[in-house]
């Protein structure tokens, strides 16, 4: 009898201990996240409220803030006739980055994965070294190159130049990831096609490319999001307002005025975030996997 009571109390103590552990674990994991979750909730709430919200509950419901989609934008003294040219600039940046980055990286990744040549190992080491090297400290020298190439202060061309630089800084990492993708596809498949008489190019196009396509498009999507979210390089090199991407536009609005129309700002920010959120929802698994190779640099 005595023993069984002792046994029961031991079980109870163990159970309490387990609950304490669980509470402790979840509070360490989740309490630091409250600010982040509050901020995201605020962004949505603020974009549909009439006045500034004090918390995360909308302050009266309105869609007035989203009028910027068809009407001119007015922030304090500065006025933009329409948001769509800015969207266009961001799209040019995003598409340009992808277009410059992916073909070069895919070719190099393929060569490194499938062909033997002198300096292959050295190239791979160089790529890993470049991946570790922080590209942002080269902005001054890149500005020199941009000037020398005649791409500075040329409006649309400058935008293309920014995409070129952004893509160049991403090339080593993407080459590395794509080499990994090609490595994952068994060589036998191409081998079989070539035994059947197709040329190396045919084997590449008909056999390898269809299998590698999902991987390549995932990497392309990553670099597209990189170009869409790009701020620092665009802010540094683009000085004319007509060629601002949305990020630089938002930054100029945040910096310039003391009084800010929070509702409008939140609505534009949310609009800018939508592609990121969609991408985030779609590519969760890839996101966690690619993070491992450092696809999003920290």
Near other proteins in 44-83, by CB under 8 A: 46, 52-56
Near other proteins by CB under 8 A: residue from 82, 91, 211, 236: 236
Tally the C-alpha atoms within 13 A of residue 249's C-alpha that lie toward its C-beta. Answer: 27
Give the 3-state secondary structure of residue 240: coil
Axis-axis angle for helices 120-132, 84-114 (nearest 10): 150
Is position 284 an interface residue for other proteins (rule: CB under 8 A)? yes
CB of 191 vs other proteins, minimal distance in Å: 14
CB of 231 vs other proteins, minimal distance in Å: 5
Is position 130 an interface residue for other proteins (rule: CB under 8 A)? yes
Near other proteins by CB under 8 A: residue from 6, 12, 21, 282: 21
CB of 292 vs other proteins, minimal distance in Å: 6
Is position 231 an interface residue for other proteins (rule: CB under 8 A)? yes
Nearer to other proteins, 1 or 274 (CB): 274
Q: Find, among 212, 210, 225, 211, the residue nearest to 295 by Cα.
A: 225
How far apart, in whole angstroms, are the C-alpha atoms of residue 176 and residue 108?
9
Nearer to other proteins, 2 or 32 (CB): 32
Near other proteins by CB under 8 A: residue from 62, 229, 261, 286: 229
Q: What is the DSSP letter of 114?
A: H
Count of residues of this chain found to bind other proteins when the rule CB under 8 A is applied: 99
30-63 b/e with 16+ CB inside 10 Å = b?
A: eeeeeeeeeeeebbebbbbbeeebeeeebbeeee
Nearer to other proteins, 215 or 267 (CB): 267
Q: What is the DSSP letter of 69?
A: G
Site for other proteins in 98-127 (CB under 8 A): 103-105, 107-108, 110-112, 115-117, 120, 123-126
Site for other proteins in 251-270 (CB under 8 A): 251, 254-256, 262, 265, 269
Burial class (CB in 10 A: 0-12, 13-18, 19+), 104: middle
* Reduced DSSP (H G I as helix, E B as strand, rest coil) percent helix, strand, coil of the chain, to 5: 75, 5, 20
Near other proteins by CB under 8 A: residue from 60, 76, 81, 294: 294
- Phi first, then psi: give them for residue 79, nearest 5 degrees: -130, 130
Site for other proteins in 156-215 (CB under 8 A): 164-165, 167-169, 171-172, 175, 193, 196-199
Is position 247 an interface residue for other proteins (rule: CB under 8 A)? yes
CB of 289 vs other proteins, minimal distance in Å: 9
Q: How many CB atoms lie within 10 A of CB 231?
A: 13
Nearer to other proteins, 104 or 211 (CB): 104
155 close to 248: Cβ distance less than 8 angstroms: no
Q: Take residue 112 and report the two structure tokens written for it.
A: 């490194």
C-alpha 41: how far from chain center: 21
Stretch of 65-73, 77-85, 154-162, 286-294 lying at the interface with other proteins (CB under 8 A): 286-294
Near other proteins by CB under 8 A: residue from 79, 140, 188, 210: 140
């Amino acid at each position: 009898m005595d023993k069984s009571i002792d046994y029961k109390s031991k079980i109870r103590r163990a159970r309490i201990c387990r609950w304490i552990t669980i509470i402790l674990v979840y509070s360490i994991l989740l309490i630091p996240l409250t600010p982040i979750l509050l901020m995201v909730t605020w962004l949505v709430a603020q974009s549909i409220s009439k006045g500034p919200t004090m918390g995360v509950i909308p302050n009266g419901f309105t869609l007035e803030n989203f009028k910027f989609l068809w009407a001119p934008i007015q922030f304090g003294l500065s006025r933009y006739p329409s948001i769509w040219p800015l969207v266009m600039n961001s799209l040019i940046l995003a598409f340009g980055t992808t277009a410059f980055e992916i073909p070069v990286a895919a070719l190099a990744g393929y060569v490194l994965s499938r062909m033997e040549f002198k300096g292959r190992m050295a190239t791979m080491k160089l790529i890993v070294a470049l991946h570790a090297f922080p590209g942002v400290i080269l902005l001054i020298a890149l500005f020199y190159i941009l000037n020398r190439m005649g791409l500075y202060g040329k409006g649309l061309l400058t935008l293309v130049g920014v995409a070129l630089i952004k893509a160049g800084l991403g090339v080593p990492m993407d080459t590395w990831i794509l080499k990994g993708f090609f490595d994952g596809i068994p060589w036998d498949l191409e081998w079989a096609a070539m035994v059947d008489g197709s040329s190396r190019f045919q084997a590449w196009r008909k056999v390898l490319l269809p299998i590698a396509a999902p991987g390549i498009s995932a990497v392309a999507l990553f670099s597209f999001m990189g170009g869409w979210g790009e701020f620092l390089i665009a802010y540094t090199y683009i000085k004319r307002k007509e060629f601002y991407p949305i990020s630089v536009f938002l930054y100029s609005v945040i910096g310039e005025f003391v009084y800010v129309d929070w509702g409008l700002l939140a609505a534009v920010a949310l609009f800018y975030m939508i592609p990121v959120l969609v991408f985030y929802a779609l590519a969760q698994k890839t996101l966690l996997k690619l993070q491992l190779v450092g696809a999003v640099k920290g």
